[in-house]
Protein backbone atom coordinates (compact mmCIF):
# COMPACT_ATOMS: atom_id res chain seq x y z
CA UNK A 1 0.00 0.00 0.00
CA UNK A 2 2.81 2.39 0.91
CA UNK A 3 4.50 1.74 -2.44
CA UNK A 4 1.29 2.58 -4.30
CA UNK A 5 0.96 5.84 -2.37
CA UNK A 6 4.53 6.84 -3.25
CA UNK A 7 3.84 6.20 -6.93
CA UNK A 8 0.57 8.09 -6.75
CA UNK A 9 2.32 10.99 -4.96
CA UNK A 10 4.94 11.16 -7.71
CA UNK A 11 2.30 11.09 -10.40
CA UNK A 12 0.12 13.77 -8.82
CA UNK A 13 2.80 16.13 -7.53
CA UNK A 14 6.05 15.57 -9.41
CA UNK A 15 4.76 15.38 -13.00
CA UNK A 16 3.10 18.85 -12.95
CA UNK A 17 6.30 20.33 -11.50
CA UNK A 18 8.38 18.81 -14.31
CA UNK A 19 5.88 20.10 -16.88
CA UNK A 20 5.95 23.63 -15.41
CA UNK A 21 9.76 23.65 -15.33
CA UNK A 22 10.01 22.54 -18.95
CA UNK A 23 7.60 25.29 -20.03
CA UNK A 24 9.51 27.81 -17.90
CA UNK A 25 12.69 26.78 -19.71
CA UNK A 26 11.11 27.85 -22.98
CA UNK A 27 9.62 31.04 -21.53
CA UNK A 28 12.87 32.14 -19.95
CA UNK A 29 14.58 32.58 -23.32
CA UNK A 30 12.44 35.50 -24.66
CA UNK A 31 12.52 33.68 -28.00
CA UNK A 32 13.13 30.18 -29.13
CA UNK A 33 16.60 30.09 -30.62
CA UNK A 34 17.51 27.72 -33.41
CA UNK A 35 19.77 27.37 -36.43
CA UNK A 36 18.33 25.05 -39.10
CA UNK A 37 19.34 23.70 -42.46
CA UNK A 38 16.36 24.18 -44.78
CA UNK A 39 15.07 21.97 -47.58
CA UNK A 40 14.37 25.04 -49.74
CA UNK A 41 17.11 25.24 -52.38
CA UNK A 42 17.30 29.05 -52.38
CA UNK A 43 17.87 29.26 -48.60
CA UNK A 44 20.59 27.18 -46.97
CA UNK A 45 20.10 28.00 -43.31
CA UNK A 46 17.48 29.68 -41.19
CA UNK A 47 17.97 31.09 -37.69
CA UNK A 48 15.77 32.71 -35.11
CA UNK A 49 17.09 36.13 -36.18
CA UNK A 50 15.73 35.45 -39.70
CA UNK A 51 12.11 35.42 -38.49
CA UNK A 52 10.63 38.61 -39.90
CA UNK A 53 7.19 38.43 -38.30
CA UNK A 54 6.34 38.96 -34.66
CA UNK A 55 4.25 35.80 -34.45
CA UNK A 56 5.58 32.42 -35.49
CA UNK A 57 4.83 28.73 -35.23
CA UNK A 58 7.35 25.93 -34.77
CA UNK A 59 6.12 22.46 -35.62
CA UNK A 60 8.28 19.48 -34.63
CA UNK A 61 7.64 16.41 -36.80
CA UNK A 62 9.10 13.48 -38.73
CA UNK A 63 7.84 11.77 -41.92
CA UNK A 64 6.92 8.32 -40.57
CA UNK A 65 4.94 9.82 -37.66
CA UNK A 66 1.26 9.15 -38.46
CA UNK A 67 -0.16 12.09 -36.48
CA UNK A 68 2.51 14.38 -38.02
CA UNK A 69 1.53 13.32 -41.53
CA UNK A 70 -2.12 13.94 -40.69
CA UNK A 71 -1.58 17.48 -39.38
CA UNK A 72 0.99 18.81 -41.90
CA UNK A 73 -1.68 19.53 -44.56
CA UNK A 74 -3.53 21.59 -41.90
CA UNK A 75 -0.36 23.59 -41.30
CA UNK A 76 0.03 24.13 -45.05
CA UNK A 77 -3.57 25.38 -45.22
CA UNK A 78 -2.87 27.73 -42.31
CA UNK A 79 0.25 28.98 -44.09
CA UNK A 80 -1.80 29.71 -47.20
CA UNK A 81 -4.35 31.67 -45.15
CA UNK A 82 -2.10 33.46 -42.63
CA UNK A 83 1.37 33.37 -44.21
CA UNK A 84 1.44 37.18 -44.41
CA UNK A 85 0.83 37.50 -40.66
CA UNK A 86 2.69 34.59 -39.10
CA UNK A 87 5.88 32.70 -39.94
CA UNK A 88 5.68 28.90 -39.89
CA UNK A 89 8.75 26.71 -39.50
CA UNK A 90 8.68 22.91 -39.51
CA UNK A 91 11.56 21.16 -37.74
CA UNK A 92 12.15 17.52 -38.64
CA UNK A 93 13.55 15.05 -36.13
CA UNK A 94 16.38 13.11 -37.75
CA UNK A 95 16.83 9.49 -36.69
CA UNK A 96 13.93 7.25 -37.60
CA UNK A 97 13.74 9.10 -40.92
CA UNK A 98 16.65 10.79 -42.67
CA UNK A 99 16.94 14.17 -44.37
CA UNK A 100 16.05 12.72 -47.79
CA UNK A 101 12.89 11.16 -46.34
CA UNK A 102 11.87 14.57 -45.01
CA UNK A 103 12.52 16.33 -48.29
CA UNK A 104 10.59 13.71 -50.33
CA UNK A 105 7.72 13.79 -47.83
CA UNK A 106 7.51 17.60 -47.94
CA UNK A 107 7.53 17.52 -51.74
CA UNK A 108 4.85 14.80 -51.83
CA UNK A 109 2.56 16.98 -49.68
CA UNK A 110 3.52 20.18 -51.57
CA UNK A 111 4.49 21.93 -48.33
CA UNK A 112 5.54 25.50 -49.02
CA UNK A 113 6.38 26.87 -45.58
CA UNK A 114 9.93 26.73 -44.21
CA UNK A 115 10.98 23.19 -43.36
CA UNK A 116 14.32 22.20 -41.94
CA UNK A 117 16.35 20.10 -39.55
CA UNK A 118 19.43 19.96 -37.38
CA UNK A 119 21.59 16.96 -38.29
CA UNK A 120 22.13 16.43 -34.55
CA UNK A 121 18.53 17.31 -33.47
CA UNK A 122 19.97 20.11 -31.32
CA UNK A 123 16.83 22.28 -31.40
CA UNK A 124 14.63 19.33 -30.46
CA UNK A 125 17.02 18.42 -27.63
CA UNK A 126 17.36 22.02 -26.44
CA UNK A 127 13.62 22.39 -25.93
CA UNK A 128 13.14 18.84 -24.68
CA UNK A 129 10.64 17.91 -27.37
CA UNK A 130 9.88 14.28 -26.62
CA UNK A 131 6.59 13.65 -28.39
CA UNK A 132 5.66 14.19 -31.97
CA UNK A 133 4.13 16.22 -33.29
CA UNK A 134 4.60 19.20 -30.98
CA UNK A 135 3.60 22.70 -32.04
CA UNK A 136 4.73 25.94 -30.40
CA UNK A 137 2.92 29.20 -31.14
CA UNK A 138 5.07 32.19 -30.17
CA UNK A 139 5.15 35.96 -30.14
CA UNK A 140 8.46 37.83 -29.99
CA UNK A 141 7.01 41.13 -28.75
CA UNK A 142 5.11 39.89 -25.74
CA UNK A 143 7.03 36.68 -24.98
CA UNK A 144 3.81 34.68 -25.24
CA UNK A 145 3.96 30.93 -25.96
CA UNK A 146 1.32 28.29 -26.50
CA UNK A 147 2.62 24.72 -26.51
CA UNK A 148 0.50 21.98 -28.08
CA UNK A 149 1.73 18.46 -27.46
CA UNK A 150 0.44 15.88 -29.94
CA UNK A 151 -1.73 16.01 -33.02
CA UNK A 152 -3.53 19.32 -33.57
CA UNK A 153 -6.61 19.49 -35.76
CA UNK A 154 -7.27 22.47 -38.00
CA UNK A 155 -9.80 24.15 -35.67
CA UNK A 156 -7.37 24.13 -32.73
CA UNK A 157 -4.52 25.18 -35.00
CA UNK A 158 -6.60 28.11 -36.23
CA UNK A 159 -7.75 29.12 -32.72
CA UNK A 160 -4.21 29.08 -31.30
CA UNK A 161 -2.93 31.04 -34.30
CA UNK A 162 -5.62 33.68 -33.80
CA UNK A 163 -4.84 33.83 -30.07
CA UNK A 164 -1.12 34.38 -30.64
CA UNK A 165 -1.87 36.95 -33.36
CA UNK A 166 -4.33 38.74 -31.10
CA UNK A 167 -1.62 39.10 -28.48
CA UNK A 168 0.79 40.56 -31.02
CA UNK A 169 -1.80 42.98 -32.39
CA UNK A 170 -2.61 44.34 -28.90
CA UNK A 171 0.76 46.08 -28.79
Most confident of 7-21, 30-44, 108-122: 108-122
- Rounded to two decimals, the pTM is 0.77
CATH no. for 32-169: 3.40.30.10
Q: How far apart, in whole angstroms, are the C-alpha atoms of residue 165 and residue 158? A: 10
pLDDT band at 168 (very low <50, low <70, confident <90, very high): low
- pLDDT at position 98 over 60: yes
CB neighbours of residue 69 within 10 Å: 17
Q: What confidence tens digit (pLDDT) does each residue in 18-30 have?
A: 343 344 444 434 4
Beta strand 134-139 with 55-61: parallel, antiparallel or unpaired? antiparallel
Amino acid sequence: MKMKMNSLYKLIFVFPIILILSIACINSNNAINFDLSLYQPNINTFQTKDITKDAYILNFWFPSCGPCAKELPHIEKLNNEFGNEIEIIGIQMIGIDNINDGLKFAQKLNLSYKLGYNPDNSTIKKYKINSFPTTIFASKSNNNFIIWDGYIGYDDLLNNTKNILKGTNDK
